[in-house]
Structure 1
Amino acid sequence: MIETVTRKRIEILADKALQRRVTDAIDRIGITGWTIVPVTSGKGREGVWREESVMGTDKVLVLTIAAEDKAMALAEELAPMLTHLGFVLSMWDVQVIRGERF
C-alpha cells in the first residue's frame, strides 16, 4: 500500500507584475518549489475582470505545497500584501506521496 503524508497546498492569486514577490517569499521560507499558472479572467467582489496586458493587470496563480510550519510562515510573510496589493491566498490539506519532497 502506498503511504501518503498530509501537506498544505497553497494558492496565491496575484498580479503578474508582482509574482516575483510571491516566489521570492516562497524561496526565503525554504519551500522547495512552486508553479505559476496564467489566469485569463475571473469574478470577485468588485465584479468580472479579464486579462489586460496593456494595463498590466494580468493575473497569475502561484501554486506550492509545503509542510504546515512552512505554509504558515509563508502566510505570515504574505499577509501584508493580501490587503495592500490585493493578493488572494488559500490553503488546504492535501495527501502527497513522497512527503519528504515537500
Structure 2
Amino acid sequence: MTQTFRKKRLEIIVEEPILGRLTDALIRENVTGYTIVPALGGYGSAGPWHRENALSRAGHMVVLVCILDERLVESVLSAAYGIVSRQIGIVTLSDVEVVRPDLF
C-alpha cells in the first residue's frame, strides 16, 4: 500500500471580487498552491441562486481549495477569516491524506 500523509484541506467560497485579496493573503501566509473553480449555483439561507442570474461579478461565487500542512492552519485561517468575515463567504477545514507531502 502507498504511504499517505495527514494534511488539512481548506475550502473557501467567496464572491469573485474579493478573490484577489484572499489569494494575496494566502500567499503571504506561505500557502504553496491553491485551485479556484467557479460556483455555478447553490442553495443557502436566502434560497436558491444561480450564477447565470447574477447582475454583476459581485454575484459570481468561486470556490478556492488548498491543502495545508498542519503548522500553517492557524495563521492561514486567521488571514482568511480577516477577509471573509466582512463578506459573503464560507470557510471549511477538513482532514485529508496525500501521497506527495513535499507539495504541501
| TM-score computed with the length of structure 2 as normaliser | 0.89
Instruction: Give identity over the alignment, percent.
Output: 28
- Give distance in 2, aligned partners of 1:63 and 1:53: 23
TM-score by length of 1: 0.90
Q: Cα offset for 1:71?
A: 2.2
One-letter code of the match for 2:88?
A: G
Contact 2:10 2:91 in 1 (8 A): yes
Q: Which residue of 2 aligns with 1:16?
A: 16
Aligned length: 102
Q: Within 2, Cα distance between the matches of 1:28 and 1:5?
A: 24
1:74 aligns to 2:71 (yes or no): no
Q: What SS is found at the alignment partner of 2:56? A: coil
**Counterpart position of 1:92:** 94
Aligned to 1:54: 55
Question: What is the deviation of 1:66?
Answer: 0.6
CA contact (8 A) 1:2 1:97 kept: yes
**RMSD, matched Cα:** 1.4
Q: Which runs of 5+ in 1 are unaligned?
A: none
Q: Tell me which stretches of 4 or more aligned residues in structure 1 moved more than 4 Å.
A: none
* Secondary structure, counterpart of 2:85 in structure 1: helix
Q: 1 CA distance for matches of 2:56 and 2:103? A: 38
- Output the CA distance in 1 between the equivalents of 2:45 and 2:62: 18
